Amino acid sequence: MSAPVSVWRSAFLLTRLRLRRQLNQFGASFARLRARQADKKAATRTSPARALLTAVVTLAMLGSFANLARQSMSNMENVLGSQTVRSTGLPGARDRVVSVRRPIPPLPGTALAPGVMRGATLAVSLLTLAALLIALASREIARPEWDLEWLATLPLPMTTLLASRLTERVLTNSAGFLALAPFLSVLAWFCGYRWAAPVLGTAFSVVLLVLVATVQTMADTGLRLSLPPHRLRNFHATVSIIALPVLFLAISMAFPADTFIFAVATLLPDWTRWLPVGLAVQALAATEPTRALVFTSLLLAEVAAVVVAGLWLLARQLRNGVVAVGVREAAGRLGNDRRIARAPVRASALISPVQRRELLLLARDRTFMVQTLVLPLSIVGMQVLLNVHSNIFAGAVDTPSTLAALAFGLAAYTLMFSAFQTLNAEGQALWILYCVPHPLETVLRQKAALWATMAILYPLAMFVIAIVVAGGVSWSFLASAAIVLMGVPIFATIAVALGVFGCDPLAQDVRRRVRPTYLYLYMVLVSLYAYAIFSGTIWQRAALLILSTLLAIALWQKARDHLPYLLDPSASPPAHVSLSDGLIAALLFFVLQGLLALLVMQVATPHMLTTNMVWIAFCGAGAITYGAMRLVYWRAHTAGVPRVWSTGLPRALVWGIVGGIAASVAGVLYIEVALAFDLFPGLRHASLLPGHDATLWLAAIAIFAAPIFEEFIFRGLIFGGLRRSFGFIPAALASAAIFAIVHPPPSVIPVFLMGLAAAFAYERTRMLAAPMAVHAIYNAAVLGFQLNVMQPS
């Protein structure tokens, strides 16, 4: 008869099992990658780049939390660790009374002042509470974990099983480590431990995470056996609301020193020093080894007492089993459901059945409702509360950027918890949407419209409150509000499209059905659009608005191509020229121009940019972009690649000449009108051409190089990608708009008209030779007009 398994052996085996499962899930990506290399037609859902991105994001988050901890400790020393003293006779002040701040000496046997000790205790308390609440909110409390019922059948005592579960939760609580370890390490650094600080910070974090794991297990396991499922969902929703505001309260200590959190720290009672969080701070702040050992021993004793009490209570609750209810809950209030079923549908004219279903899901799932509607509001509300001194609403009319950024952030958070989760919310029933008599793209479009409408209500309410509080409105306020309101439907589309890429409906673990990489990408795109809110010129705002719109269209196009293959792990959509290809090519083209210009300037002597260097950079960037895109299309066997010429070339050149003449006439007339009415005061000076040699190089770029490379990108790729999803008119307008915004503001209108003529010529001939001819003739006409008419005599 074998000996019973010890607590430590079982804890090691069960923790190894959980970590091994996570490692297997991570390694599955590389297995799929090897399968793809064996079969070029097979698709992979993950790649080593995603693993590298995850590692980079983790390191960035650790660095960010460490920087916040350093700023928090610096603010504590400035606010809580010093006092204002009035002095006279200071150098340079003569007899004036000057107020200066002097540091308060630390307590005997410690490295921190009393106020700093209270502030650090409050910070560690908030971070520990945030780690607990985030751990509770990240799991569905109403449903047991996947392995709990299986583990309960093992021949192990209940206390051994629970101790193993605690050990596993301590070692796998990544959110807790991110919250506690950086701050405790920085605290140890400020207390003089220097390079031993990370080791001490990690060690004390593990001790506090044991306390977190105990309370977490008592909460989710004990409450699951004591409360019915609907009350557990209410509890889970409440925890989801509280978790992030508590974390923001701790992070607010890194904000400027006039936040109210430091006032709360001064009111912290003395008995909090003897709680586990206070003992951890006192142990790190102790300057004598004996004193540090005493506080560490008290900390370990308190945590051990909590663990023993928790294990005893859990063992008593679990003595009759680990499940209180079955998978299916008892149905109730059948009469109400029948009345709802018999009720006539009066809202069919306003919302579609898909949208009614989403609203019904929102009403039934309280956790989903809280995460979608309440949690974003609490996050932004916490920001307003922490910056209450700045009078965000009262000063919004004169300086609307801050309020507009908060309003857009609130809408973006709402879309992140709703529109981003459209496919993930379907769960295992996603296949049903493939059976309804509507394309899945139409279903997703209706969901995106619903969530955009709901998300836009928050910015509207904030703008109305600002107008009422300020008692007026300004043009800058209206412009910022328009940017925010137009951005909400754009990012609703982006969120749904990225939700398609980030959804893994075949994942068994519910929490792994949304890939966090695309969530981070969504937040990055939101932050980039926020630049349009703070931008001071209408051209920059228009450029960002147009680029964001085209990005939303490009992502939607890619998502639409991906939808038929969503449930097939080994198939991928056939390659087509898409709008995203054109946007990538345009970005690569402009970035390479700058890099090659810098490189040529470094080689040349003197280090000055001349027109022949511009020619080299322009042609080099265009050739690299053209070659790279053609190579990618050749390897992927992409369909719809634009052709420069084909049969019927003379007819295409005729269309190009006609379009070029029309665009040239419009461009010359526009210049005449702009000069006559002085629409752009600097236009005549900007039209002055350099010397003879430089003019020749400029003409070579404008007449020969620009039509070849730019038409391949803007008409061949961008217009072609848009044309595949939309009609000719929307595709022509959008491609001409993005082509115009990359030019200087005075030339936006004539370049836009030339883009329309080039798109029309390409539509009629399906050869790039026609729009290249339009572009070349237009540039030659405008350059000749500047050379013969606008130059000084």
**274 in the same domain as 392:** no
Handedness of CA 384, 387, 388, 392 (dihedral sign): negative
Task: Out of 544-548, 606-610, 781-785, pick the least confident.
Answer: 606-610
Name the least confident of 110-124, 417-431, 629-643, 768-782: 417-431
> Taking 70 as the threshold, does the pLDDT of residue 50 lie above it?
no
Q: Specify if 124 maps to a domain.
A: yes
d(Cα 198, Cα 201) in Å, to the nearest integer? Answer: 5
Whether 335 has a pLDDT exceeding 80, the answer reads: no
Over residues 747-766, mean pLDDT: 91
**What whole-number distance in Å separates Cα of residue 303 and Cα of residue 300?**
5
* Beta-carbon contacts of residue 412 (< 8 Å; ≥ 6 apart): 491, 523, 526
User: Interhelix angle for 611-636 vs 692-700, to 10°?
Assistant: 10
pLDDT of residue 163: 79
From the list 489, 480, 502, the residue with the least C-alpha distance to 548 is: 489
Give the contacts of 581 (CB within 8 A, at least 6 positions apart): 629, 717, 721
Q: What ranges in 714-768 are assigned the alpha helix state H?
A: 720-725, 728-741, 748-765
Q: How confident is the model at residue 570 (pLDDT cuts 50, 70, 90)?
A: low
Tell me the pLDDT band of 39, cut-offs 50, 70 and 90: very low
Do 597 and 694 fall within a single domain? Answer: yes
Residue 36 confidence (pLDDT):
45
Across 416-429, average pLDDT? 78
Does residue 658 have a pLDDT over 90? yes
- pLDDT value at 32 more than 60: no
Looking at the structure, tell me whether residues 613 and 516 fall in a common domain: no
Assess whether 521 and 605 both reside in one domain: no
Q: Report the alpha-carbon distance of residue 368 to residue 272 in Å, rounded.
A: 36
C-alpha R_g of the chain: 32
Residues 650-677, mean pLDDT to the nearest whole number: 87
Beta partners for residue 98, in sequence order: 87
- Give the pLDDT confidence score for residue 535 in this predicted structure: 73
**Does residue 496 share a domain with residue 558?**
yes
User: Using alpha carbons only, what angle is made at residue 716 by residues 711 and 722, rounded to the nearest 5 degrees?
Assistant: 125
The contacts of residue 474 (CB under 8 Å, 6+ apart) are 397, 398, 400
- In whole angstroms, give the CA distance from residue 223 to residue 216: 10
Q: How confident is the model at residue 145 (pLDDT cuts 50, 70, 90)?
A: low
For residue 723, pLDDT over 50 is answered with yes
pLDDT band of 655, cuts 50, 70, 90: very high
The verdict on residue 18 lying in a domain is no
Q: What is the pLDDT of residue 541?
A: 80
Is 31 among the domain residues? no
Identify whether 754 is part of a domain.
yes
Q: What pLDDT is attached to residue 3?
A: 64
Question: What is the average per-residue pLDDT within 257-281?
Answer: 82
* DSSP classification of residue 6: P
| Cα–Cα distances in angstroms (integers) from residue 127 to residues 123, 197, 253, 303, 501, in the given order | 6, 18, 12, 17, 33
DSSP state of 288: S
State the pLDDT at residue 339. Answer: 45
Q: What is the sign, positive or negative, of the torsion defined by CA atoms of 546, 447, 465, 468?
A: positive
DSSP single-letter state for residue 206: H
Do 567 and 601 reside in the same domain of the chain? no
pLDDT at 386: 62
Question: Is 307 domain-assigned?
Answer: yes
Is residue 40 domain-resident? Answer: no
The answer to whether residue 28 scores a pLDDT higher than 90 is: no
- pLDDT over threshold 70, residue 112: yes
Most confident segment among 48-62, 173-187, 374-388: 173-187
Give the span between the Cα atoms of 314 and 213, in whole angstroms. Answer: 13
Has residue 52 got a pLDDT over 60? no
Give the amino acid at 210: V
Among 540, 573, 606, the domain-final residue is: 573
List Cβ<8 Å contacts ≥24 apart for 285-291: 285/110, 285/111, 285/112, 285/117, 285/120, 285/187, 285/191, 286/109, 286/110, 286/111, 287/109, 287/110, 287/111, 287/192, 288/109, 291/109
Q: Using one digit for the tens of pLDDT, what is the confidence trace for 690-714?
A: 556 667 777 888 888 888 888 998 8
Phi, psi of 99 (to 5 degrees): -95, 120
Mean pLDDT of 600-623: 73
Cβ(371)–Cβ(378) under 8 Å?
no
Mean pLDDT of the chain: 78
Verify that 210 and 288 share a domain, yes or no: yes
Segment 550-574 shows an average pLDDT of: 79
Do 555 and 624 fall within a single domain?
Answer: no
Same domain (yes/no): 554, 690: no
Lowest mean pLDDT among 45-54, 57-66, 626-635: 45-54
In this prediction, residue 493 has a pLDDT band, given cuts at 50, 70 and 90, of very high
Say whether 258 sits in a helix, a strand or coil.
Answer: coil
What domain range includes position 421? 351-573
Residue 151 has pLDDT above 50, yes or no: yes
pLDDT band at 44 (very low <50, low <70, confident <90, very high): very low
List CB contacts of 491: < 8 A, sequence separation 6 or more: 411, 412, 415, 522, 525, 526, 529, 548, 552
Confidence at 296, pLDDT banded by 50, 70, 90:
very high
| Contacting residues for 658 by C-beta, under 8 A, at least 6 apart | 761
Q: Of 65, 2, 32, whose CA–CA distance to 506 is shortest?
A: 32
Whether the Cβ atoms of residue 244 and residue 380 lie closer than 8 Å to each other:
no
Query: Does residue 1 belong to any structural domain of this protein?
Result: no
Beta carbons within 8 Å of 129's beta carbon, 6+ residues apart: 246
The answer to whether 685 and 702 have CB atoms below 8 angstroms apart is no
Return the axis-axis angle of helices 475-502 and 440-470, rounded to nearest 10°. Answer: 150
Q: How confident is the model at residue 149 (pLDDT cuts 50, 70, 90)?
A: low
Residue 19 in this model has a pLDDT that exceeds 80: no
Q: Which range is least confidently modeled, 416-430, 473-487, 751-765?
A: 416-430
Residues 154 and 299 in one domain: yes
Q: Residue 297 pLDDT > 90, yes or no?
A: yes
> Which range, of 250-264, 273-287, 324-338, 755-769, averages the lowest pLDDT?
324-338
Q: Which amino acid is at 197?
A: A
Same-domain pairing of 596 and 561: no
Q: What is the mean pLDDT of residues 739-749?
A: 81
Cis peptide preceding 114, ω within 30 of 0: no
Residue 283 and residue 311: Cα distance in Å, rounded?
Answer: 27
Confidence of residue 331 (pLDDT cuts 50, 70, 90): very low
Among candidate residues 573, 605, 627, the one where a domain is terminated: 573
Tokens read off for 332 = 């109730």
Task: Round to whole Å and give the CA distance between 692 and 783.
Answer: 13
Task: Taking the CA atoms of 413, 417, 421 and 422 in sequence, report the sign of the dihedral they define.
Answer: negative
Domain membership of residue 506 (yes or no) is yes
* Last residue of one domain, picked from the residues 524, 546, 573: 573
What is the per-residue pLDDT for 593? 79
Mean predicted confidence (pLDDT) in 632-652:
85
Q: How many domains does the chain have?
A: 3
Same domain, 452 and 404: yes
